[in-house]
Structure 1
């Protein structure tokens, strides 16, 4: 059973904005939460804009559809254009142009619960559906939605804008909570894996196996540390590089407490993306671990490792250096190295699209320069 709420002609740009507001309000009457209201309204407005810009105008119709199995809100957007050529490529988002209907189609189909499209020489019809959890009849909801639209039409535009902004803030807060919870659970899962590896290391009779498992737990911690920082942060998309490196250094100080190695950290406060933070965490873990293991064994001299991170123009420069014996022809030697740790460093540097410099003349110094896009 289908019960129509309203139809909106798409003849000018303001009609697209009106369609978005109507989609959100109708979804709200249908019992959708803020997040579902916004994703449905966004999808409908994208298709409506396509109809207006590329389809020679059109119409957007909203209705509630009721079956024995489900109750859903349907937005049908129909235009009078000449159809969409190579529709399959548009839906797979493989079109080459950076403008055009494909951008709206490929994104909108991911935002709704069901998406269908028919296109031909006489125009294009797109149906977008949002599944509802309310119990009730389609006709009752359609009437309630129509009444809400009439009431909203006589309301203040400022109040409508305020309500939309509030809904967006609530949706963002919910998304932030979910991301923070995801990072928390990931950190806990990594901690379990780390504990299992440590238990296996203690039970192993092979020194080589114990060493490999110990190194493995350090790499896990480099990942877990970034997740832990994001779990605690207000912004779950960025990591404080200074805190990230200091936490890793503190862990390694405890791990190598008996070696009497001094690890000094001098980092500027820098915010970087989570992806960059995980790669830098791996790099710092490998370089610090390697430096502590191979720094000079001369007990008469103080053994030190320095970690510096600072902004240099539009780049971030990270340096790890020690006062050990160094390496003759370091660049050539490390390039040929079969060490897993050095391979991890090189792999992370490539992922960051960073520049790598090594100098083994006065201890070993490894410097990495990160382009601006590697930052948060």
Structure 2
């Protein structure tokens, strides 16, 4: 009887961690169907917009976010992303000297007529670092051409890189035709894709992103201000990123702001005026911060539990989640969160490898999944010696006999 109790205790330790309640799972609605649509939405007159939580990617509100629009100068975000990739790979360096070609000549190119410029002259020597600032802060179309030719030899090859990275980072409805965003047939994007673009830039190249918050830049004694008026708004902590405007595109903006532990990204495409663009983006950001919270209930590699294992050098393995867990919730909803644990197998056998997926952890509010993460091993557990393996084998045989 004592042997049976010991065996049952070990087996029960494992099976208790397998929480599979079918009646609960059958009523769960996945968060992909925006669970916040039931909230009163802010009234925004722009053709298309989206507001997302940076840490979770959850859409807080949107309107026509998959509708095609001209990107205007928002295309320059991808231009700066490609530049950052080239720098990170060592293909170019920030201190490199670039010589301005005829194609980059501001006053000699009719395509640039009336558009935003850095006012480059043929034969000018300018560093990659200053060209980056000219693109980000002055929205210089001429600077885009100069850096594209320096990196790729010509604009067409650089545009191919823009579209390559667009697909790689998950932009499903975006196509670039030039390096600066001026209207061109076949060039389009969506508010949702631009939100992803902003999120990826912030995540992958924080140094590059930090340039977007600078309020001005002077080159060749020409002083120009950043066109993102939200940077001067003392009621919001906006730290980027870009505005754009052409006659066909209307007034576009992607902006990001932080408050407490939350970062939001807003995109507006096709607004009527510069002031509408500023007012509506501010309205959406404020609504987001007033309505929602981002919480970080579990840190990466934090031990959540120890799972009993068989045939191992040790009798259990520590499990946790590989990355930080972020959840987007309505304010004051923390106490409503329920957690379901699921272990893939009722008998975990050694050897176990670090980061091996052993199960999952699901966070639910009111039968809606708000986050699902893999439970992984936080350590290696090698196979035990022959005595341990034999003992566990006997335990399993007796367990099968008991439960027959």
- Structure 1-normalised TM-score? 0.24
- Structure 2-normalised TM-score? 0.23
Which structure has more RCO (C-alpha within 8 Å, separation ≥ 6)?
Answer: 2
User: Which of these two proteins has the greater Rg computed from alpha carbons?
Assistant: 1
